[in-house]
Amino acid sequence: MPHESRNPLSRLDPHAPLVLDTRALSRQPGSERKQTLTVPAPADLGVELLGVPEGTDIELDLRLEAVLEGVLVTGTARVPLVGECARCLDPIASTHGATFQELFVYPDTRSGGNADDDELRLEDDLIDLEPVLRDAVVLELPLSPLCRDDCPGLCPECGARLADAEPGHHHDVADPRWAALQNLTDDGPGHRPEP
């Protein structure tokens, strides 16, 4: 039986949009290739209130560079973002540029003293850019995105958008629940004991 050294669990799909073939790059340290490509966004690329809709175009500008230990990938990803303002719940739509640089180590290279489980490796000359893209995009997204930096949010009393409300919008009427409590403490005549 032929010796099979690759791990079937980690085998990359060469047709996956974010799996890149590095065979065109010479293994001579210093050689490099530039690559521009548009790929569909993978699922769940984002945080709760803001993210890249699955399947939308991500534009990648990449530079692959052969170094001693592997292939160094430097790039930028331009992604569309949609989400919701954390204060006023208005929809947000923008684009975001994420930059990244990662080293993919050759499979037969032993990583010196610091064996790192997170180390990225080439598999059959392929590199999987998805975890790199995910880290680069998601880690930069704000957990509380705002439609604009000074978004005043919603009125806590009536829920009106304060950006649209008249200046000084406020409510004088006490909360009816407090009013009810007020009535209980104001001893009415009904509470007086019968003579």
Smaller CB separation from Zn ion, 67 or 155 = 155
Q: Does residue 88 bind Zn ion (CB under 5 A)?
A: yes
How many CB atoms within 10 Å of residue 75? 22
Is residue 151 close enough to count as binding Zn ion by CB under 5 A? yes
In the list 93, 158, 174, 181, the residue contacting Zn ion (rule: CB under 5 A) is: 158
User: SS3 for 1?
Assistant: coil
The pairing of beta strand 57-66 with beta strand 70-84: antiparallel
Residues 6+ away with beta carbon under 8 Å from 87:
144, 146, 147, 151, 152, 153, 154
Interaction between residue 179 and Zn ion (CB under 5 A): no
Q: Does residue number 147 form part of the binding site for Zn ion (CB under 5 A)?
A: yes
Residue carrying the six token digits 């975890």: 131
Residues in 48-87 that interact with Zn ion by CB under 5 A: 85, 87
**Binder to Zn ion among 157, 175, 179, 182 (CB under 5 A)?**
157
| Binding residues vs Zn ion (CB under 5 A) | 85, 87-88, 90, 147, 151, 155, 157-158, 160
